[in-house]
């Protein structure tokens, strides 16, 4: 009988040890269920422990019920949930995952975003979204909301001027669309120093006008930025004298995707009635035709002072393509144009 009792006690102790010891072992020694070497997990703002458990279950990283149990054991409560991007690695212990989430040990704490060569707000939002919590749809919707546009003193046509293309350190990943726009507004204020404002005023240009003209300059000459100050000076001469800008990129802008890939515009392309078409309407168009760079805006503000009114594509010299010939008089311009047409005709032979 004593042997039987001892055996029962041993079995009970074993069962008890398994029941109470397995959870401890699973928490402190077992690893997460990850087949690949690593995976980024996004914890959105406002997530609850239940939300995280469902996410980990869905991503096949940890059983949801196990997560809730382990969280309770390690005092990971709702008020300690930190949104962000967390890196999960193969072989990571369950407890380390809980501690990472509990302590906010994000993979991306010092987020850097870069957006350059953007055509418009949608293009910019697509480049920014991978680096912050707000997705591209949320970014575009917030920016184009009339209340946002009014808040920052722009119009629908000019709101893109608020976003100066560059690389920015934005802190942690959990940045909303509203926070992103406010950060860009702060950068905008830093860029527009008293000196830059004075230069714009000297040309009778508003800040958004500078962005508009810069966008045309940049679109007109995308290969050789050394020409930007000359082109800017030419357009400023035309604005001052009331001469239409007659910029091909503005006419092309009016056609949208219809002229995608077309480099040589015809007379018919200059005739579409559109407020951005500077062949039909004097002065600047309603807003930028693309997102202007800081460098192009500074080219406008530091435009070359000359008497040029005309420019024409120049035949390549010394293997350098994409430059322009500039002229003061129409006769000079016609001579430059004849050179260009002779070159183009030679290519067709």
Domain regions of the chain by residue span: 24-103, 111-191, 194-306
CB 340 within 8 A of CB 264: no
Write down the pLDDT at residue 168: 93
How far is residue 321 from each of residues 180, 226, 242, 316, 317, measured CA to CA in Å?
A: 39, 13, 31, 5, 7
* CA 237 – CA 239 distance, rounded (Å): 5
CB burial class (10 A; 0-12, 13-18, 19+) of residue 225? Answer: middle
**So what CATH class is 24-103?**
alpha beta
* pLDDT tens-digit series, residues 89-119: 888 888 888 888 888 776 655 678 999 999 9
Rg (CA), the chain: 31
Q: At what angle do helices 136-144 and 121-128 cross, to 10 degrees?
A: 140
Which residues are CB-contacts of 347 (< 8 A; sequence separation ≥ 6)?
A: none
* CA 64 – CA 57 distance, rounded (Å): 5
Write down the pLDDT at residue 206: 97
Write down the pLDDT at residue 1: 59
Range of 36-40, 282-286, 338-342 with top mean pLDDT: 282-286
Write down the pLDDT at residue 178: 96
* CA 253 – CA 248 distance, rounded (Å): 9
* pLDDT tens-digit series, residues 309-326: 999 989 887 667 889 999
Task: Please identify which residue in the block is written with the tokens 């183009």.
Answer: 344
SS3 38: strand
pLDDT of 307 strictly over 80: yes
CB 64 within 8 A of CB 49: no
Percent pLDDT > 90 in the chain is: 53
* CA 225 – CA 240 distance, rounded (Å): 23
* pLDDT tens-digit series, residues 183-213: 999 999 999 999 999 999 999 999 999 999 9
CB 164 within 8 A of CB 184: yes
Annotate 147-178 with b (16+ C-beta within 10 A) or e (fewer).
Answer: ebbeeeebeebbbbbbbbbeebebebbbbebe
* pLDDT tens-digit series, residues 60-92: 888 888 888 888 888 888 888 888 788 888 888
* pLDDT tens-digit series, residues 227-246: 999 999 999 999 999 999 99
pLDDT of 4 strictly over 90: no
* pLDDT tens-digit series, residues 118-175: 999 999 999 999 889 899 999 999 999 999 999 999 999 999 999 999 999 887 788 8
pLDDT of 182 strictly over 70: yes
Write down the pLDDT at residue 296: 97
pLDDT of 18 strictly over 50: no
Write down the pLDDT at residue 283: 96
pLDDT of 16 strictly over 60: no
Closest CA to 111 of 93, 124, 129: 129
Band (pLDDT 50/70/90 cuts) for residue 38 is confident
Write down the pLDDT at residue 24: 47
User: What average pLDDT score do residues 47-55 get?
Assistant: 88
């Amino acid at each position: 009988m004593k042997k039987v009792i001892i055996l029962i006690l041993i079995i009970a102790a074993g069962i008890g040890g398994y029941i109470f010891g397995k959870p401890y072992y699973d928490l402190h020694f077992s690893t997460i269920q990850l087949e690949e070497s690593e995976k980024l997990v996004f914890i959105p703002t406002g997530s609850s422990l239940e939300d995280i458990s469902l996410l980990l279950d869905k991503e096949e990283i940890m059983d949801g019920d196990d997560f809730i149990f382990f969280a309770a054991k390690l005092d990971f409560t709702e008020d300690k949930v930190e949104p962000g991007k967390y890196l999960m690695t193969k072989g990571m212990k369950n407890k380390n995952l809980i501690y990472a989430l509990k302590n906010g040990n994000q993979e991306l704490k010092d987020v850097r975003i870069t957006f350059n060569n953007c055509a418009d707000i949608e293009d910019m939002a697509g480049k920014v979204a991978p680096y912050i919590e707000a997705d591209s749809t949320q970014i575009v919707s917030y920016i184009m909301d009339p209340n946002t546009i009014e808040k920052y003193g722009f119009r629908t046509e000019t709101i893109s001027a608020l976003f100066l293309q560059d690389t920015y350190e934005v802190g942690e990943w959990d940045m909303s669309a509203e926070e992103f726009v406010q950060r860009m507004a702060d950068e905008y204020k830093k860029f527009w120093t008293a000196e830059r404002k004075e230069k714009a005023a000297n040309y009778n240009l508003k800040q958004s006008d500078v962005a508009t003209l810069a966008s045309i300059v940049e679109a007109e000459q995308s290969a050789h930025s050394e020409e930007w100050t000359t082109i800017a000076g030419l357009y400023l001469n035309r604005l001052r004298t009331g001469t239409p800008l007659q910029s091909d990129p503005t006419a092309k802008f009016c056609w949208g995707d219809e002229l995608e890939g077309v480099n040589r515009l015809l007379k018919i392309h200059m005739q579409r009635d559109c407020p951005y078409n500077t062949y039909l309407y004097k002065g600047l168009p309603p807003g930028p035709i693309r997102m202007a760079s800081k460098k192009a805006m500074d080219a406008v503000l530091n435009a070359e002072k000359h008497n040029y009114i005309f420019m024409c594509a120049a035949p390549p010299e010394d293997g350098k393509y994409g430059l322009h010939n500039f002229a003061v008089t129409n006769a000079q311009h016609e001579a430059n144009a004849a050179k260009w047409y002779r070159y183009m005709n030679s290519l067709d032979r």
